[in-house]
Amino acid sequence: MRSPETGSLEPEKELMESFIEQLGNTIILRPYVFIYLTVYLAGCSMTFGLKRALAFIAPAYLITWLSEFSSIHTGIPYGLYYYIEHTKGYELWVLGVPFMDSLSYVFLTYASYSMALFTMSPLISSNGMVYLLETRAIRRSLFTTLLAAMYFVYLDIIIDPVSLQGSKWFLGQIYGYGEPGDYFGVPISNFAGWLAVGFVLVSVFQLIDSAMTKSGVRDYIAYNAVFRHMIGMGLYAGIIVFIIFMAFYIGENNIGWVSIFIIGLPLFLLWAVTRIKISMADTGACIEAHIRDFPEAAGRVYGIARTVSSGRHS
């Protein structure tokens, strides 16, 4: 409605000003979320393409928000929980769900998918740097989707018990469960929900990637950056290390040690599988398959292969 004196859209202006203020407060209050999101934009753009990275944000946010909105009202898919709205009106909330919470699933999905691709793809190593010889078939594989969803759940197994103790650190107590669950207060249904939502989110990213490829969309990918595949894995590891550090910092030593034990064996197995893949791979065939799908990477990959070959014969 226009103000009768000025003819301006006063309510709309106030709404926009309130939105901008609350968004700014969210960034100030939750800077780590936006730091992680920046890493996502850089890493995902360098690995999959800038357009793909940007295209994924809106549907990922919407799917996550719907899952959280549904869960706080019906208990599906995470189990029944509630948000504590003490920052509502200060930071940005969307119909009872903190904006930053749903947004975080975007970079958690990317990190989990990166881990799955690393696990599934042939590898080539040179000068301490590992390069993925992925193919589009591996990217779209159902097994890759399932594995990424499992990596996604593993993140929450580490994150949720510490987040539930938010009153002890700068996160703040932002949510709780109606009935405390069996795993440090977290119900097992929560992890089932993360598995389902993770599967959907990874599938959506794969569909976006596949649709853009089939449509011939030209994207901006840093094929010459050998480390581009490592950014998502670094993000995944960084989140886990940060959360375990916070567990010990706030005195929740049991959570910290259990988290270390939980990730210990998978980490060792991933290291062992990586060594086996590097030593046993049919490098020539893997390189050719990779180049067929990503011809823009040919110069960099052949350069790495020549370095590896000269190293073996020196």
Cα(260)–Cα(255) distance, rounded to whole angstroms?
9
Residue 107: closest CA among 183, 28, 39: 39
Cα(127)–Cα(31) distance, rounded to whole angstroms?
35
pLDDT of res. 278: 76
Beta bridge partners of 176: 82
Question: pTM of the entire structure?
Answer: 0.90
Residue 129: closest CA among 305, 1, 256: 305
pLDDT of res. 12: 82
Distances (CA, A) of 120 to 4, 141, 143, 160, 179: 65, 10, 9, 27, 38
- Give the residues of the chain that fall short of pLDDT 70: 1-9, 128, 280-282, 308-314
pLDDT of res. 310: 58
Tokens, residue 173: 């107590």
Query: Do residues 149 and 175 lie in contact, with contact meaning Cβ atoms separated by under 8 Å?
Result: no
pLDDT of res. 8: 53
pLDDT of res. 178: 86
- The SS3 of residue 125 is strand
- The SS3 of residue 281 is coil
Tokens, residue 264: 């210990």
Tokens, residue 82: 């509630």
pLDDT of res. 313: 47
Cα(230)–Cα(222) distance, rounded to whole angstroms?
13
Cα(253)–Cα(237) distance, rounded to whole angstroms?
20
